[in-house]
Amino acid sequence: MDGNSVNPDWPKLAGQGERYLSKQLQDFKSSARSNATMAPMVAALNEQDMADLAVFFSGQTRAAGAADEALVELGQKIYRGGNPASGVAACIGCHGPNGAGNPAAGFPSLSGQHAKYVATQLNAFKSGTRSNDAGKMMRNIAAKMSEKEINAVASYVQGLH
């Protein structure tokens, strides 16, 4: 109800940027982003409905999460400094030091997001099954990430606040 999903397969929408939420809803509706659960949910929504939902969820407070302590060191290293050896860019550049994202640019907030959801999305970008990122930005980054790096970053952002 407040955008804080309890299912780790689903994202926490609370506190997400309005521009980002609006774009994702539009992408689900147009099939630019594919998801069997979301497609029927957005089918009947009009532009005003999507704008209203984006405003509502962006105004909610996201519940904090916790990181797996075993993954924090690597997750923090990748999030803050990337991996120069493999060309993985630092997440902090677009998502900010506390994972708040960049609402004006439409970059999502990652702070407190479910690790399982984040890992799923990074893997979708890596495989190309998710392709609604501007200029292939996330696809190019995720393609260079190892599974260990993906899991560590996903866990790290879950505990980031």
Residue span of the structural domain in which 99 resides: 69-159
- pTM for this one? 0.96
Render each residue's pLDDT in the chain as its tens digit; 161 residues. Answer: 999 999 999 999 999 999 999 999 999 999 999 999 999 999 999 999 999 999 999 999 999 999 999 999 999 999 999 999 999 999 999 999 999 999 999 999 999 999 999 999 999 999 999 999 999 999 999 999 999 999 999 999 999 98
Distance, in Å, from the CA atom of 91 to the CA atom of 137, rounded to the nearest integer, reads: 11
| Pair 32, 93 in one domain | no
136, part of any domain: yes
Q: In this structure, what CATH number is given to the domain that contains residue 152?
A: 1.10.760.10
Distance, in Å, from the CA atom of 55 to the CA atom of 19, rounded to the nearest integer, reads: 9
Distance, in Å, from the CA atom of 151 to the CA atom of 97, rounded to the nearest integer, reads: 19
126, part of any domain: yes
Residue 133 carries which DSSP code? S
| Pair 80, 108 in one domain | yes
Structural contact between residues 8 and 100, judged by C-beta atoms closer than 8 angstroms: no
